[in-house]
Structures are given as C-alpha cells and as structure tokens.
Copies of this chain bind each other. A is one copy, B any other.
Amino acid sequence: MILALSCPDRHGIVAAVSAFLFQRDCNISDAQQFGDAATETFFMRVVFEPVEGDAPEAIRAAFAEVGDRFGMDWTLRGTEPRKVMILTSKFDHCLADLLYRWRIDELPMDVTAIVSNHPRNQIGHVDLGALPFHHLPVQASEKAAQEAMLLKLIAETGTELVVLARYMQILSDDLAGQLAGRCINIHHSFLPGFKGAKPYHQAHARGVKVIGATAHYVTADLDEGPIIDQDVERISHRDTPEDLIRKGRDIERRVLARAVRYHLEDRVLMHHGKTVVFGD
C-alpha cells in the first residue's frame, strides 16, 4: 500500500507514522519525506506491505486517528491500477506512447476511454485495440454541451485521472475546477516560457538554444498549473519550426509519461500551486 500525506510540520510526525506501521507489523519497502521550511509543511510517502489478513479498510480506519492528530491531508491506497481516460487530437504521439507503456506494464492503469475532438479514423498511427473510443467534437457554440458529455463519461467510467495527451482544447474554468488535481496536461514548452499557442514557433522566432516540455496539473489559470515534470533538448539555428516540432515530440512523450506514472504511483503531492515529487 502507499501512504501519501502532507501536514503542518511539527515534532513527532515521522515518529508517529513509523510507530503506527511498526505496531501493525507493516513492512516498509520505500519511504521519502520532505519538510518545506518556507511554508512549514511536511510531506511523506511510504510504501509498505501489510501483514496477511490486515485489510486496507482496517488500516485506513486505524490511521485516521494519526491523520487527525496532525491535521494531515492523506491518502492510503492499494497498488491496484487506477482508472485513466486519455484525451487526444490528431497529434497522437503521446497517446501512442502511453498505450505502449501501458501494454508492457510500465503504467499501472486501466484505460477507461480514449476521447478525441476528431473521429476515430483520424487517430491513424495508433492501435487502439478494443479500447472504447469516443468522438466528442468541440464546437465553439456547444462547448458547454461537449464538456457535459465529457463529465458524464468520466463519472460513468469511474475515471480517476484525465490525461490531456496533446488534446489541443482549452478546458472551461468550470471543467478545470471540477478536475482539479486529477487532470494532467502536456504543454509543449518549458513553462513559463512560451505560454499559449504554437510554442515551437514562438521558440523559433525568439531564437532560443534549448526547447522543452512541461507536464502540469490543469487549473483554470491556463498554463499556470502546478508543474509535475519538465525536460529539455538543445537545438540550434539549423532547426526549423518543423524540426522543433519533431524534436519536441520526443520530449513531450517522455515528460508526460513520467508525470502520469508519478501520479499513478502517488508520488506527487500538490501544495500552494507547486508540487512535491518523490521521484524514483
């Protein structure tokens, strides 16, 4: 099981958590912690194996007391796969990458649906297999209706995480708000540089020597959500905007895949518009 928590930093947190797990005979296989001096907040992630017969519900019920005592924001989950919905566009490289990683068991998830603004035959380079595909076109006049359908689908499928894999549509403030903390987007620039549209063209115009991509939680404030991961590549004057787009695909897919995996493994804790990432 994975315990992830944050709370006001004070004496005795680790002692209390480790005593709890020790008394319950849990076997800790990994633990990371972090105290943020600026905000006096403490963060912790513990992976442990309960003794046989100790039910997750019982552990959660018992831990509630510790959580309450320290004013913790906490989750305690099993390692069963999480339900994930992937939204995409004709730019399907991130989708293809996520599905391949899922098929070789790199990503502990169940895919509830693939959703696109474009019909299925335009997702041309990816084998969707038997995965449910939903064509939900976005028209300016009916954006609210489209988002309502999306939310209904999320609810019906029990989707826990929505991944915008180059979805190329801006969510309404309302939808962004409803998906807070459970919707990850990949932006094709090293934010905060080149917010908004066509970042590779912006990068080319500015003449930067490094390009990047940023995976972040979606918030109502566009391109301002908490950053989970970023990566970059060197470029040169020889690179046209098309070259940047090509090189960028490689950065985007590995940054998004890393961010999704970190989220699925409860490695990401949000705090004050930023993230604590207990990486591997």
A14 at the B interface (CB under 8 A): yes
- CB–CB B11/A15 < 8 A: no
A208-231, CB under 8 A of B: which get 1 and which 0? 111010000000000000111111
Residues of A in contact (CB 8 Å), total: 65
Q: Which residues from chain B contact A207 at a C-beta distance below 8 Å? A: 226-227, 273-275
Copies in the complex: 4
Contacts A227-B209, A273-B207 given: A21-B15 contact, CB under 8 Å? Answer: yes
- CB–CB B206/A238 < 8 A: no
Q: Which residues from chain B contact A25 at a C-beta distance below 8 Å? A: 11
Contacts A14-B28, A210-B231, A237-B34 given: A100-B93 contact, CB under 8 Å? Answer: yes
- CB–CB B36/A237 < 8 A: yes
- CB–CB A27/B15 < 8 A: no
- CB–CB A237/B280 < 8 A: no
- CB–CB A125/B103 < 8 A: yes
- Can you pick out 19 interface pairs between chain A and chain B where the beta carbons lie within 8 Å of each other? A11-B22, A14-B22, A18-B18, A28-B35, A30-B34, A31-B33, A32-B32, A36-B237, A104-B125, A191-B208, A192-B193, A207-B227, A207-B275, A209-B277, A210-B212, A210-B231, A237-B274, A239-B280, A250-B254
Using a CB–CB cutoff of 8 Å, the interface residues on chain A facing chain B are 11-12, 14-15, 18-19, 21-22, 25, 27-38, 93, 96, 100, 103-104, 106, 124-127, 190-194, 206-210, 212, 226-232, 236-240, 243, 246, 250, 254, 273-277, 279-280
